[in-house]
Amino acid sequence: MAVKSVRPIRLGMVGGGQGAFIGGVHRIAARLDGHFELVAGAYSSYPKRAHASAAELGIERDRSYESFAEMAKREADREDGIEAVSIVTPNHLHFPAAKAFLEAGIHVICDKPLTANLKDAQKLVKLVEKSGKLFVLTHNYTGYPMIRQAQEMVAKGKLGDIRLVNVEYLQDWLAEPIELTGQKQAEWRTDPARSGSGGCVGDIGTHAFNLALFVTGLEVDKMRAQLDTFVEGRKLDDNVQAGFKFKPKGNAPAAQGALWASQVAPGNENNLTLRVYGAKGAIEWAQENPNMLWFTPLGKPKQLLTRGGSGAGAAAANVTRIPAGHPEGYLEGFSTLYTETAAAIRQWNKSGSLGKKSQPPTVGHGLTGMKFIDSCVKSSQKGGAWLKVSL
């Protein structure tokens, strides 16, 4: 994922202002590899919050908009206008916002689910076709290296004919009626007007479903489902069980699938798991430990494939940034030190001296480390003798 010697792409954002969640994730994701620069936004439908958010993000005042419609129009007119937009609003705004930008000739990156209802989704497909523009739906779980690895292994026939597909996405944050307490994320997700006809099924069920199809490449022939609501008074489902019969491939029996998504399962944070069993082997993966993929060739011991490890192939390597054994969170840990350094430098710029709070490791820690190495060498040379030290 090396940065190419090309200029970054100009990006705008709709939604994702102060108080939002997924907008910040999109911004980090866009920054991480350095391929985008964020230059415009309509961050909120409340003008005050929109502009305050823009200021915080370092967006010039004249590119902070109060509506996506205005933003689409004005940015399309600029020579240095945005080339792409990220739409990170509640579901019901995906369609009108996407429409506005596609019609303005701007590529669209959109959070899932696509729209609030099937009719809008079908319209949007036509709009995209007509526009000739890129439309990207952030089914982000497909970005994990070991998911690419899994997809590659299925495609190469390492599992033989697929027989069984099991995907689960379990959470517990809606086990109680927190939407009644003003929790914003819960509020719109349990409101049919803003979420559409699916609750849990739309919010996380679609992620699970997409993941299963992405990895297996199977197509659904028949399906059945049961939506349940366990929390009293809730208007949308908070649990879904679905079954699938996939289209047969060749002469093999048709594969069967099962999907379970729940937002009322205590002890589960974002427990997304995928298991695929074929005639010749199986893979098992869990998002909470995404750098690992279990592979069992039928009749042989189970193997643990790791991102960047000896069993991983080209598909995983293509989207891997760091060597094996470092979980991908390694980069965030590293980044935290940079961010604390930035805070220290700003403090230094302001006051000419360094505060004490959260200061990252410094030269003193380095000296301690050097004394440690030196003491190790000396003790070892003396046959492992105890040394009195001052580290």
Cβ of residue 35: shortest distance to a copy of itself, in angstroms?
4
Beta carbons within 10 angstroms of residue 110's beta carbon? 23
Q: Work out which of 151, 216, 268, 273 binds a copy of itself, going by CB under 8 A.
A: 268
Q: What is the DSSP letter of 13?
A: E
Q: Work out which of 198, 273, 274, 285 binds a copy of itself, going by CB under 8 A.
A: 198
The Cα–Cα gap between 159 and 183 comes to 44
Closest CA to 313 of 337, 295, 299, 289: 295
Closest CA to 212 of 108, 285, 262, 320: 285
H helices of 168-218, in order, are 184-189, 192-195, 200, 206-216
Of 41-49, 65-73, 74-82, 357-365, which segment contacts a copy of itself by CB under 8 A? 357-365
Please name the helix (run of DSSP H) or strand (run of DSSP E) that holds residue 295, with its range, or none: strand 292-297
Size of the site for a copy of itself (CB under 8 A): 198
Residues of span 203-242 touching a copy of itself by CB under 8 A: 205-206, 209-210, 213-214, 219-230, 232, 237, 239-242
Q: Kindly state whether residue 180 participates in binding a copy of itself, applying the rule CB under 8 A.
A: no
Phi-psi region of 180 (alpha: psi -120 to 50; beta: other; left: phi over 0): alpha
Cβ atoms 22, 88 nearer than 8 A: yes
Q: Kindly state whether residue 327 participates in binding a copy of itself, applying the rule CB under 8 A.
A: yes
Q: Work out which of 155, 180, 193, 354 binds a copy of itself, going by CB under 8 A.
A: 354
Q: What is the DSSP letter of 4?
A: P
Q: Work out which of 40, 189, 282, 285 binds a copy of itself, going by CB under 8 A.
A: 282
Q: Work out which of 60, 70, 80, 332 binds a copy of itself, going by CB under 8 A.
A: 332
Residues of span 361-390 touching a copy of itself by CB under 8 A: 361-377, 379-380, 383-389
Coil/strand/helix, residue 237: coil
Residues of span 11-50 touching a copy of itself by CB under 8 A: 21, 24-36
289: Cα separation from own chain's centroid: 14
Of 41-49, 67-75, 149-157, 318-326, which segment contacts a copy of itself by CB under 8 A? 318-326
Considering only CA atoms, give the Rg of the chain. Answer: 25
Cβ of residue 49: shortest distance to a copy of itself, in angstroms?
14
Comparison of 70 and 339: residue with beta carbon closer to a copy of itself: 339
Q: Kindly state whether residue 151 participates in binding a copy of itself, applying the rule CB under 8 A.
A: no
Q: Kindly state whether residue 97 participates in binding a copy of itself, applying the rule CB under 8 A.
A: no
Q: What is the DSSP letter of 140?
A: G
Q: Kindly state whether residue 269 participates in binding a copy of itself, applying the rule CB under 8 A.
A: yes
Single-letter amino acid code for the residue at 294: W
Q: Kindly state whether residue 175 participates in binding a copy of itself, applying the rule CB under 8 A.
A: yes
Residues of span 127-146 touching a copy of itself by CB under 8 A: 128, 132-144
Binding track over 237-266 against a copy of itself, x by CB under 8 A: x-xxxxx-x-------x--x-x-x-x-xxx
* Helix axis angle, 94-103 to 118-131, nearest 10°: 10
